Every structure is written in C-alpha cells, then in structure tokens.
Structure 1
Amino acid sequence: MKKRSRTKLSEELSILKRLRQCDFTVLLLVVILVIFGVVMVFSASYYNSINYSGTPYTYLKKQLFFALTGAALMYATSVVDYHLYRRFDWILLILSLVLLVLLFTPLGVTTNGATRWLRVGPLSIMPGEIAKVAAILFTASFFADEPNRVLSLKRGVLPMAGLMALLGILIIKQPNLSTALTVVGIIAGMMFLSGLQWRYLIGAFGLGAGGLLILSQTGTYWGDRLTSFTDPFKDAQGDGFQAVQSLLALGTGGLFGLGLGKSVQKNLYLPEPQNDFILAIIGEELGLVGVLILMLVFVLLVWRCSMVAINAPDQFGMLLAGGVALMIGIQVVLNVAVVTSSMPPTGIALPFVSYGGNALWIFMGMAGVVLNISRQSRTLNPEQKKKKQNRVQRVRERERERRERESLI
C-alpha cells in the first residue's frame, strides 16, 4: 500500500512540475474561459434544452463532457513534443481537404441551410475546424523548413495564396464565410510573422474587399447575406432575425445586465442561443461590464500566446504559437462582429465559451501545444539559448533588409 501511495504521489508531483514549467497564465486563462463557458451554456440553453429534450440539463451534460475530454486532450498535447507534429503536416492537410470535399456527398449533414458536419455514427465532425489546425501546422512547417520562402513570390507567396484560395472556396461553399475568413486570416497572419512584405498583404486585402463589394451588388444569395446585416430591422422576420434578437439582448442588458440566468431572449426568441450567439446572452445577463471583462480575458490570452511565440525555441514553435494566437484573436473578433451585426451572421463560435465539442476540443488541444512550446522555451540549455539568440538576430537582420528593400521601391 505504501509503495502504491508513493507511486501515486510521485505521479502527482510530476504533473505539478510539468504545469509549473509551462506558461501558467495561459493555462489559468483557458480554464477560466472553459468553466465560464460551461456556466453560460447552461444558462443560455435552459429553455431551449427543455423544449428539445424535456430537461434543462441536456446541453450542460454534453458541454461538461466536452470540457473534461478537452482537458485530457490539452494535457496530452502539452506533454507531447510539438516537433513531432511536423511529421504529419501534409497528412493533416490532405485529410482536411478530403473531409471538406466529403461534405458535398451524401455523408454531409445539412442543418439550417448549411452543410458543415459529417456524421460518423453518434459523432459529428466539423471539417472547417480541422482545417484551422491543418492550416496552422502546414504553414508553420512550410516556412520553418526554409524561412526565406516568404520573400519569394514563386516559392512562397503564390503556393500559400493557392492554399488559401482552395480552403476558402471549399469552406465558403458550405456556406460558412466566417470560418473561411478565419482560415485565410490565420495563413496570411502567419505569413506576415514569417516576414511577408506589407505590399502583398495590402494587395490581398484590397482584392478581397473589392470582391466582397462586387458580390454584395449581385442580388444573389451571398449578395443578400452581405447586405442584410447593414439594416437587420428591414427584414426582422427573415435574414435579419438573428441579428435583431441579438441586438435586443445586448440592448436589454445595459451596463450591468439582468442577472445570471435572467435572460429573456434565450426563452425561444434567439435561435440556438448557446452556440454562435452566446455573447448576446452574456451581454443580456451580465451587461456591458461582463462582456468587457470577458474581452479582457481574451486579450490577455492572445497576448500570452504571442509572448510564447516570441520566446519559442525555434522558428517552427514561433509560428505554431503565433498561429494559435491568430486563431483565437480572429475568431473572437468575427464572433463579436456577428453578434453586434457588424458582419453577416455566418456561424462562428466564441472560443472556449460557445457550445460544441469540435471547436472546444480544437481550441483546448491547440492551447496544450502552446503550453508545450512555453515549457520547452523555459528549459533550454545554454547551447540552445545561444542558438535561439542567433535565430532572433537573423530574424531581425532579415526584417531590416526587408525594410531597406521596401524603402528603395
């Protein structure tokens, strides 16, 4: 018995030691967001759950299961050496593309006019979520193998532009504009972290904005979707219904909110309030103050992930952690934009908070990768630290050379 107790104690101390070595702030912020998400999913889904299954606890039980399994996944990815993922960059990318294509076969599940899920027995898979991880891993590996690729139009910029176009088109066809913007934004942001010149980003932004402007004037499905959000009250019972209900919830909440659990809009007015529009319920129950505190937590999390990227042991780790920071930041911005009717409601989860297993597992798993990167950066030996300093110096020199070239153009 004593030997068994000592073994168990040793294992617990080993886990605590690993947690101390990683960026504890990232871990703490993720735990806070996940716990808060479970509470708000229960509150937001209360009446919807009763209407759906006769009990208010259906979504709560599922979200608790997602959170606990997500915690196990986060721990697993935090202890696995992140360099091992480079072996699977092409495999995951191809798998992601195959899953996206399978959505347009009989395997695809259509809900509310969107085909975003693949049903495998009791399990639902969202290929769009997997595409985010595939984009981060492949882009990080692509530019870590040869950092100067990003300076070459033929060997760096055009191949990644093709990848962005391919993933973007497959995701938009679901249709899912916000996830497409997230994936494209992640790749573009990681290219910038690798040293992409400003003119390419400005040019790409100009082309994208011009394309959306032209599309909004076509009178097609996407044209109507891209313009309906500008005045949702014009068609409050049609395309603008969700946006109107969301704005009513936020307006009702005022500064301090109605109180936890006292939302009116969740009472079967706002469709699926525990999903993409959970921020509206948060605003109604906890008010503007509650929303601002939540945004502050997200800002701190993105900042800490960025610090992990800056202090990463190598280029691959830097880009990997930077990609996760971009994924979280972009998705929060897009979710806020959708909830406040600043862009069309296209389906985008609030990281760590919205109901759903796929998104929560992806975010918690990638948070674990960031924790692994942070731990390895804190346990460098003198030789590794010297290599890291040399790498940082080379990056600074490349940046200085790039600025000099741009000043001559």
Structure 2
Amino acid sequence: MGKKNPYDFTIIITVALLVTTGIIMVFSSSFSYAMVVLGDGYYFLKRILIWTVIGSSAMVFCAKMKYWKWPRYANILLLVSIILMILVLTPIGTEINFAKRWIFVGPITIMPSEIAKFAAIIFVSTSVTRKKEKIQSFFHGVVPYLLLAGVFFGLIYAQPDFSTAFVVVVVIISMIFVGGMKLSHFIGLSVAGLAGLSSMIAYIFISGKGYKAKRITAFLDPWADPTDSGFQAVQSLLALGSGGLFGRGLGRSVQKHFYLPEPQNDFIFAIIGEELGFLGGVAVILLFMVLIWRGIRIAINAPDLLSCLMATGITTMVIVQVVINIAVATSSMPVTGMPLPFISFGGNALVIFMASMGILLNISKYTNMNRS
C-alpha cells in the first residue's frame, strides 16, 4: 500500500453537516405527528439520535478498518443479505402499508434491502478484482453479475420496493463497467434496460391496474386527482412553493401537520424547501454535490482496482438515491419510497450510509488526491 494520508476532511465535514441537518429536520417535520399519534413529540428525535450514535460508531469502525480486508467477508455478507431478503417475505417479515420490508427483532428493526446494497458493493468489488481478466467476456464476465443483479432485483421488488431494487442494479452495473466491461456491452445493457423499464411503465399505465398505475397517472397530472392518487405530489409541491426564497422559518411548516404523508422520511426535502426555502434546498443539494465530487475523485485516484470499485459503488449509491428522492419531491418522477441519504428518518439506511462513508474515508488515506 502507498503512503498514508490524512482522512478526507471534506467528507467528514460534509457528512457531519448532512447528518446534523437530518436530525434537525426529522425533529421539526415529525413533532406534530409524534405528539398526536404516538403521544411523544420527541419519539422520532430520540430514535434518530440513537441511530446517529450507532451510525457514527460504524463510520469510525469502517474508517479504521483497512479496505483490503473487506474481501474476507464478501461471501458471508452476500449470503446473509440474501437470507434476510428471503426471510422478510415469509411470516417473519412485518407488513406495513402493504409492503413487507422489515424484520423486527425485539426493539431492533432490520431492513434487509439496505443491507443488500452494502453487501452488493463489497461482493461485486471483490469478485471483479479477482476475475478482472474475464470481465470483458460477456458470458463469463458480465452474465454472472447480471444474474446476481437479477436475484437482488427480484427479491427486493417482491417486497415490493422497486426504487431500492433499481438502485442495487444500477450500482452493480456501474461497478462492472468501471471494472473493465466493454463499452459495447455497457451500451447494449443500457439500451435493453431502458427498453425494459419503458415497456414495464407503459404496460402498468395502459393496464391502469394497481397503485403503480395511479402513481404514473398522478405524475402526468397530479392536479387531476389532488385528494387521492395525486395527493402526495400536490402536497409536496405546495410545501416547496410556499417556502419561497427564504422559507417560512425552521419549525413553521404547514404541510407537516397531517397534510404531507411521511414528512420525516420520503418527503423530507419538501419540508426543507418549505421551512428553509429555495436557498435551504440548494444548500442541501450543494452538500451532496461536494460529497459526490469527493467520492468521484477518490474513485479516480484510488490506489488499486478494489478500492476504485468500492468508491464507485458507494458514490453511485449516493447519487442515485439523492436524484430519485429529490425528483419525487419535486414531482419530476412518479412517487416512490426512497429516503434522502443522511437526512430522512430511517436507522438502517443511516447506519449503512455512514458505514459506507467510513470505507470511503479509509480509501482516502491511501489515495493521492493531488494526481490528475
């Protein structure tokens, strides 16, 4: 390994600012709901603080653990994630709002799809590094990862959770592309994937069956049915629009008072826009852009293929989730459940993202950031 460098201070500061923003906005957006429904206005605040401590510990642990030791645990992480994704579909899993995405073990909630993202990054980066001479072969180098992506997609989609399944597939494809997949194979897969996605959306829309069809219809014209299928999109847009340039002020959101569903989770960006205004929303986006920029620089200048692929997978995961969450909040795509990294309420997601940042920090210690 090369000479050690200090941890990337920019990543540390950016993550700290994002997590702090998340704590403040989770408390602000959830207080009314927690007080009326749960009888404790501090319910979500107390839990996000506990998960922040756990996530910070995971980040420190992963930052100190040398990145080249992760391949030792790649197979077990993959096996555990697949077993958990199967178990969540059995009676062991808990169904909430017509989705089975959680396993409750006493006071602890396990979300297998979040663990799957982390396991996919570790396993694929390890596997591609070990068989890099085969990656340019479609059948021997690409197909096995497509099958793996198919298994992840199928198990997560069955929960159902299309957005997370999509994230995992994009992360895997991005990693094998950076790992040396032929450009022609990448273009072919991209075209086939877009065609398949477009066909699926068209079928859902034409059939007009189920909540997915309503979400597509609501995306095309949320004001056509503002009290039912378009309710979330309309309330999110009202929140963003009413915030103006400077916002109503921290804690003064109107939409969080039982108008906007999941204000502390999937639509927390809308509350940020309402309370902190356009400038607050832009500030959050700029923080993510800084984090993504550092992740890309670390991936480009990484000391070896393993660290490059890990940094690529982690950065891609952040990019895709940020884009989807903000796109949903601004009604730029159909409503889907996707938390905003480091900010939305969700313990499993916060721990996984902070642990991933720890790996990125460890890689930064062996990366010469002054190289072009």
Q: Helix, strand or coil: the match of 1:333?
A: helix
Amino acid of the residue matched to residue 48 of structure 1?
Y
How far does the alpha carbon of each residue in 1:352-400 deviate from its partner, in whole angstroms, 9 at most, with x for none? 0001110000000110011111113369xxxxxxxxx9xx9xxxxxxxx
Question: Do 2:104 and 2:110's aligned partners in 1 also have CA atoms closer than 8 Å?
Answer: yes
How far does the alpha carbon of each residue in 1:143-186 deviate from its partner, in whole angstroms, 9 at most, with x for none? 11122332110111111111111111211121111111111111
Q: Number of aligned residue pairs: give it.
A: 363
> C-alpha separation between the residues in 1 aligned to 2:85 and 2:229?
26
Residue 250 (structure 2) pairs with residue 246 (structure 1):
no
Residue 76 (structure 2) pairs with residue 91 (structure 1):
yes
Residue 359 (structure 2) pairs with residue 357 (structure 1):
no
Q: Helix, strand or coil: the match of 1:124?
A: strand
Q: Helix, strand or coil: the match of 2:367?
A: helix
Partner of 1:25: 10
Unaligned ranges ≥5, structure 2: none
| 2:181 corresponds to which of 170, 178, 196 | 196
TM alignment of 1:133-282, pairs within 5 A:
133-215=118-200, 216=204, 217-221=206-210, 222-282=212-272
Runs of 4+ in structure 1 off by over 4 angstroms are: none
> C-alpha separation between the residues in 1 aligned to 2:158 and 2:222?
23
Residue 107 (structure 2) pairs with residue 118 (structure 1):
no
Amino acid of the residue matched to residue 83 of structure 1?
W
Question: Do 2:138 and 2:185's aligned partners in 1 also have CA atoms closer than 8 Å?
Answer: no
How far does the alpha carbon of each residue in 1:60-87 deviate from its partner, in whole angstroms, 9 at most, with x for none? 1111111122111111111011111101
Q: Helix, strand or coil: the match of 1:267?
A: coil
Amino acid of the residue matched to residue 176 of structure 1?
D
Partner of 1:9: none
Partner of 1:37: 22
Residue 240 (structure 1) shift: 2.0
> C-alpha separation between the residues in 2 aligned to 1:154 and 1:210?
21
Partner of 1:347: 337
Amino acid of the residue matched to residue 361 of structure 1?
V
> C-alpha separation between the residues in 1 aligned to 2:303 and 2:197?
40
How far does the alpha carbon of each residue in 1:207-234 deviate from its partner, in whole angstroms, 9 at most, with x for none? 2333333333233324443443222222
> C-alpha separation between the residues in 2 aligned to 1:154 and 1:187?
16
Amino acid of the residue matched to residue 208 of structure 2?
G
Partner of 2:49: 64
Which structure's relative contact order is higher, taking Cα pairs within 8 Å and 6+ residues apart?
2
Farther off after superposition, 32-41 or 237-246: 237-246
> C-alpha separation between the residues in 1 aligned to 2:36 and 2:187?
48
Partner of 1:335: 325
Q: Helix, strand or coil: the match of 1:334?
A: helix
Q: Helix, strand or coil: the match of 1:119?
A: strand
Amino acid of the residue matched to residue 37 of structure 1?
G
Partner of 1:298: 288
> C-alpha separation between the residues in 1 aligned to 2:185 and 2:224?
38
Q: Helix, strand or coil: the match of 1:40?
A: helix
Residue 54 (structure 1) shift: 2.1
Could you tell me the TM-score, scaled by structure 2's length?
0.93
Residue 313 (structure 1) shift: 2.0
Could you tell me the TM-score, scaled by structure 1's length?
0.85
Question: Do 1:21 and 1:378's aligned partners in 2 also have CA atoms closer than 8 Å?
Answer: no
Tell me how large the CA RMSD over aligned residues is.
Answer: 1.9
> C-alpha separation between the residues in 2 aligned to 1:72 and 1:334?
28
Identity of matched residues, %: 46
Structure ranking higher in helix proportion: 1
